[in-house]
Structure 1
């Protein structure tokens, strides 16, 4: 694999991993559809993801997940299992898009860059949802859910069609998270 192709596939994987941090199944569905329509190649052992069966199955899971975030009790259930699922999804999209590397390097990259990125995003999204529930009594949660779904969609599409731009969006998202926590830390009153 050429170094340019490798960089693009890593950017693609990281972009999809961030999208998986917002919605677990949506980026995998978009990746599956892109593979089905031969927009992007998948690594050899992940060709099944580009099948019609995978698209239908992932489509159903995506619809259940998206609408589940609008049902308060289901929303809480999804948040309880979402971080490990996001880590698995982030790892999977990274492994599926990066090929022609030593398997040890591929899996290390997938677990750290894919799974770690997705888990970090999902953890922050869950904290935002918890804050929204605590401060608005859950009234703002549908807005948060809509923004998360929109962000996941945009990140997934950007990762598929312009992976390098998606990588810069990832950096922008992490910078925004950093700024938010830095600002939050300044507001804490001193303890005596």
Structure 2
């Protein structure tokens, strides 16, 4: 590749496992968004599209469209916690588009939903970092061996990203420690 990034072997079943993990993470906090915005179905639609793909559906326009719509919902959310919950749903739909490139930023496709979900829960609890750490611990325990193995094909999570980035790196380290 022109940028020096090498390719990683990645099959459709790998993508389904990663997307299922991401969807399960987002599912845990979707109600935070829905309580704040009961008439806005965009994050739920993104999550439904992610589940459909994870359970054998095709990867197509619906995933992309609903991910972008959930992203817009996050930007329009009235609270930070609701915004993070919508971002978790957006990341779940986007997980199906994990690229087979040895690029640390691809780790966000694998673990981004869990990190945003942990941040949403943290914010809902008055910015209690122990709540976020507990969510990350639960996400680490729920990751399947396939998710851990796929993650291991990629470089470690990148620096930056504020508190969500910290949560992402904490989960990344925990899962790599399982391998």
Query: TM-score band (shorter)?
Result: 0.3 to 0.5
Q: If the length of structure 2 is used for normalisation, what is the TM-score?
A: 0.34
Task: Return the structure number with greater helix share.
Answer: 1
CA radius of gyration, larger in: 1
TM-score, normalised with respect to structure 1: 0.33
Instruction: Between the two structures, name the one with larger relative contact order (CA 8 Å, sep ≥ 6).
Output: 1
